[in-house]
Amino acid sequence: MMTTMTATRMTMITGDDRSRCGDRATMISYRGYTKRFGTLLAVDALNLDVRAGETLALIGPNGSGKTTTLKAALGLVGATTGRVVVGGHDVTADGRHARARLGYLPQRLTFPEGCTARELLGFYARVRRAWSGDVERLLSRVALGDVADRVVDDFSGGMRQRLGLAIALLGAPDALVLDEPTAALDPSGALLLRDLLAEIRREGTTVLLSSHDLAEVAALADRVGIFVAGRLALLGPTPELVRGLGATGLEETYRRITATTQLVA
């Protein structure tokens, strides 16, 4: 009963959401995407369109399918059934071209020992066939220009994340896929990265991100998707999600949806 109620609300909110956003082009499209890891159902029959120019944030408990969903757009995780299309390119059949449209910041970022920020950015610029001037421009954009020739082994978590963001921005991708970009950062590091993301969003780059920071999500995202146990339980703009459930804010909305769905499950 509770599940039915949630589904009805989701449909209602998605419908409102669609009329609000119009028919903007779809940048990333999931159609019946399901992923199983052995017996574990990580993502269950996901249908989701990420529209060009929007920032869509995925939230949900650990293991609810957010990261798998993000990785599926890059072909890092395959599909058990269904498909993912990025910029018109099926990720399974034409992953190389699909990935050329995306920049990616993984949750855990590791770099080889002894490499400087400039060398790493230069390497990825060549892999992406990006303009060579991108390296200097992006180093300065993420405020790493002064430490560009230092080995990244000595970088703080925030500096590494900013370097990761610079790599993701190489070649001006149409969309960014960011997996918990501010997790494990201190407040000043998180704020700096959040400012950069807000700037990128204003420039019209599509952003698909996952986060546990509901304040960050509320500040950055045009739409929010709440994942519970591999299913997209709710999707829409934050004010409409909150209003639809009669909640006081995103936190209460999240609390209700996760509690309800987990209870029923």
Partner 1 sequence: MTITNSVRPMWRDARWAIPTLVGNCALVTMHELRASLRGRLVPAFAALFAVLAIGISLAGLGASGQLIVQGFTRTAVSLMTLALYLLPLLGAIMGAAAIGGEDGGAELLLAQPIGRAEALLGRAAGIAAALVIVAAVGFGAAGIIVAIAAGVDGATGYALVALGATAVGVVGVGVGVLVGVLVRRRTAAVAWALALWFGAAVLYDLAAIGVLQLVGDGQPGPWLVALLALNPIDGVRALGLVGLGADVLLGPTGAALQRMLGANAGMSIVLGSVAAWLVLPILIAVRRYGQRDF
Report the interface residues with partner 1, using CB under 8 A.
23-27, 29, 37, 49, 52, 71, 74-78, 85, 87-89, 96-97, 99-102, 104, 106-115, 119, 123-124, 126-129, 164, 167, 174, 177
The distance of closest approach from Cβ of residue 95 to partner 1 in the complex, given in angstroms and rounded to an integer, is: 8
CB of 3 to partner 1, least distance (A): 26
- DSSP classification of residue 25: P
Q: What is the nearest approach in angstroms of partner 1 to the Cβ of residue 68?
A: 9
What length is written for the chain?
Answer: 265
**Which long-range contacts link 236-243 to residues 24+ away (Cβ below 8 Å)?**
236/10, 236/13, 236/14, 236/16, 236/17, 237/17, 237/20, 240/13, 240/16, 240/17, 240/20, 241/13
CB of residue 122 to partner 1, shortest distance in Å: 10
Tokens matching residue 243: 């209003």
Instruction: Give least dist CB 97 to partner 1, A.
Output: 5
Nearer to partner 1, 222 or 242 (CB): 222
Q: Which is nearer to partner 1, 10 or 74 (CB)?
A: 74
Residue 258: CB minimum distance to partner 1, A? 25
Q: What are phi and psi of 170, to 5 degrees?
A: -60, 135
Which of 122, 254 has the CB closer to partner 1? Answer: 122
Closest CA relative to residue 262, chosen from 212, 225, 228, 214: 228
Give the nearer residue to partner 1 in terms of CB position, either 102 or 139.
102
Instruction: Give CA angle at 29 (194, 227), nearest 5°.
Output: 60
Placement of tokens 């190389």 in the chain: 96
Q: Closer CB to partner 1, residue 41 or residue 76?
A: 76
Distance CA 188, CA 185 (A): 8
Q: Which is nearer to partner 1, 20 or 24 (CB)?
A: 24
